[in-house]
Amino acid sequence: MNDQDTMQLRSIVEAHELIDRRIEQLFGVEDEALRAARAATRLHCMPAISISPAQGRHLQMLARAVGARNALEIGALAGYSAIWLARALPDDGRLISLEISEKHAQVARSSLSRAGLAERAEVRVGPACETLPTLTAEAPFDVVFIDADKREYPQYLEWALRLSRPGAYIVADNTVRRGLALAQELGDEASDATRGVWEYNRRAAHDPRLLSLAVPSDESGLDGFTISLVTTARAAKE
Ligand code: SAH
Ligand code: DHB
Ligand code: MG
């Protein structure tokens, strides 16, 4: 990329950020519990990679749209997205969030308690590929949010399909990646993360049980969700 391209891209990103701030101020206003969950990442020296408020609202709407009672998250961090998701559930609903780091799990639990959601949401510690197979008795889930190790996204998709009901939404974060994870032509320098997410998108796009779309949705407009509706094989794309 030459200097002119870089400047052009920067101004496009600035426009996306301005629009996203306005959307957030109108539609995705955070309350104290959400602000505290986001702030907890800084306070505990965790990466600042929670979803955006607008993405939180989007996730919440998808969960409500399917009347979700039973929700699954893979990758809790500080519990920010878990608060948005758990708030979409009825009082007797349940969110299970899988997290590899004991420290992150503790921070997420305290974020959820602060939001008054300790009863509704539970964080389980372990590598997701080991904890997912233990969830069969608690399935089916009505909504699954995938946001953990990008290299393992294809495995997460397999489990999400196994553990969800027809009519469920499977949503994955960071699947746009500046367009890098949306095309077969991955250069030699593509990371294992990008390769994992490309494979996820490829499967999500072609699996006859899924009706899927990647949607740029983060603050920069350069990253976003892949949203998949679980349907019966016959109905998916007709
Ligand atoms: N969903 C959160 C952000 C998640 S960041 C939010 O938007 O608020 C990704 C999280 O996945 C990190 O906390 C990381 O520790 C966790 N993670 C990484 N690899 C994992 C694995 N193999 N199994 C479970 N969790 C994992
Ligand atoms: C990373 C992970 C995320 O889930 C995210 O939203 C942004 C960045 C990362 O691992 O760098
Ligand atoms: Mg993410």
**Is the distance from the beta carbon of residue 107 to the nearest atom of ligand 1 less than 6 Å?**
no
The pLDDT score that the predictor gives to residue 144 is 99
pLDDT of residue 89 exceeding 90:
yes
Q: Which residues contact 162 (CB under 8 A, 6 or more apart)?
A: 136, 139
The length of the chain is 238
Closest CA to 228 of 218, 213, 216: 213
Model confidence, pTM: 0.96
Mutation test residue for ligand 2: of 52, 81, 153, 174, the one with most atoms within 8 Å of CB: 174
The pLDDT score that the predictor gives to residue 18 is 96
Query: Is residue 93 helix, strand or coil?
Result: coil
**Is the distance from the beta carbon of residue 51 to the nearest atom of ligand 1 less than 6 Å?**
yes
Calculate how far, in angstroms, residue 122's C-alpha sits from the geometric centre of ligand 1. 15
Query: Is residue 65 helix, strand or coil?
Result: helix
Cα–Cα distance between 53 and 221 in angstroms, integer? 14
Calculate how far, in angstroms, residue 213's C-alpha sits from the geometric centre of ligand 3. 17
* HSE, side-chain direction, 13 A CA sphere, residue 227: 14
User: What DSSP line would sit under 172-207, residue for residue?
Assistant: ESS--GGGGGGSS---TT--HHHHHHHHHHHHHHH-
The pLDDT score that the predictor gives to residue 234 is 57
How does residue 230 score in pLDDT terms, banded at 50, 70 and 90?
A: very high
**Is the distance from the beta carbon of residue 149 to the nearest atom of ligand 1 less than 6 Å?**
yes
Q: Are strands 70-74 and 94-99 parallel, antiparallel or unpaired?
A: parallel
The pLDDT score that the predictor gives to residue 188 is 77
pLDDT of residue 193 exceeding 90:
yes
Closest CA to 159 of 175, 126, 136, 181: 136
Calculate how far, in angstroms, residue 222's C-alpha sits from the geometric centre of ligand 3. 13
Hunting for tokens 């929670």 — which residue is that?
50
Tell me the pLDDT tens digit for each residue of 121-169.
Answer: 999 999 999 999 999 999 999 999 999 999 999 999 999 999 999 999 9
Q: Which residues contact 133 (CB under 8 A, 6 or more apart)?
A: 159
Q: What is the mean pLDDT of residues 87-94?
A: 98
Tell me the pLDDT tens digit for each residue of 19-53.
Answer: 999 999 999 899 999 999 999 999 999 999 999 99
Report the nearest-CA residue for atom 4 of ligand 2.
147
User: Residues lining ligand 2, judged by CB closer than 6 Å?
Assistant: 49, 147, 173-174
Is the Cβ–Cβ distance between 38 and 28 less than 8 Å? no
> Alpha carbon 18 to chain centroid distance?
22
Is the Cβ–Cβ distance between 215 and 225 less than 8 Å? yes
Calculate how far, in angstroms, residue 174's C-alpha sits from the geometric centre of ligand 2. 7
